[in-house]
A = this chain, B = another copy of it.
């Protein structure tokens, strides 16, 4: 069942080494979201922990939890108490030796609506995610790994951080009926990079996510981590998580954003009917050349026609 207007909040927060403190921050910001009249709230990636992926160390697997488990159950309780749809992020222990970077969706009555396991896993100096996270799998028929999660107020196309750089992921969510795209995120600067390079990275990150709104005529909500976190291994300089969470409408127009990097909350009302209006005026979905897209399932395309 689709609402016309949906009041959405994005929570941006810094994370400390203490689980209880982080959960307390989350709870306070969720309470503020409820007071602001939000129906749906997005939390940043792995919001109960420091960004442990800065180093690869087996001890961090202690922090993984089953789903349902303490964090998901706590979020369910908060969803019910505050009458909010909550999209949270959990370091999931699925079974011994299988861990995921997982988003969970809890409805306003506290019911568990579904989960999404991060499909695109980064691995760079300071972001050792391939060490920790088994990629989400393509379990059923082709393409259905990117499946929106149905809630009482619409279908949520939940993706996670690195997924945001892949237009394929957003498109598959849209083709599967998503009403909105959501990106819990933990991205930041290497403090050694120059200001000009940092600015280019930030703008690229904003642009690519706005483009998913535009290409698919869907509102997009982004919740990023903020604050500086030292690298515990001391081999890198740490990460300045850049905040700048935002909510944009289905033409990519900014509805709410924060330009600072403090823990904060932003809210906007999105119009879910706008998607239908825009798809009539700009009928991209009519014109997709599905006869000619098979190459998208290739790693590279070799050709000889012009060489």
Which residues of A are interface residues toward B (Cβ below 8 A)? 113-114, 119-124, 135, 138, 140, 142-150, 155, 162, 165-169, 171-172, 175-177, 200-201, 203-204, 207-208, 210-211, 214-215, 251-253, 281-285, 287-301, 303, 305-307
Contacts and interface: CB of A to CB of B under 8 A. Distances in A.
8 contacts: A146-B292, A165-B282, A167-B171, A167-B215, A168-B288, A200-B252, A290-B297, A293-B296
Contacts of A203: 251-253
Contacts of A146: 292, 295
Contacts of A167: 167-168, 171, 211, 215
A124 B284 contact: no
B176 A295 contact: yes
Contact of A306 (B114, B211, B292, B299): B114
B252 A204 contact: yes
Contacts of A143: 292-296, 298, 301
B172 A301 contact: yes
Given A140-B305, A208-B211, A296-B296, 5 more contacts: A162-B287, A167-B211, A175-B300, A285-B300, A290-B299
Contact of A165 (B207, B215, B291): B215
Given A143-B296, A215-B166, A251 B282 contact: no
Contact of A166 (B120, B201, B288): B288
Contact of A293 (B168, B207, B307): B168
B144 A305 contact: yes
A284 to B, nearest CB: 5
Contacts of A306: 113-114, 147-150, 155
B168 A119 contact: no
A128 to B, nearest CB: 14
Given A143-B298, A171-B296, A200-B253, A121 B176 contact: no
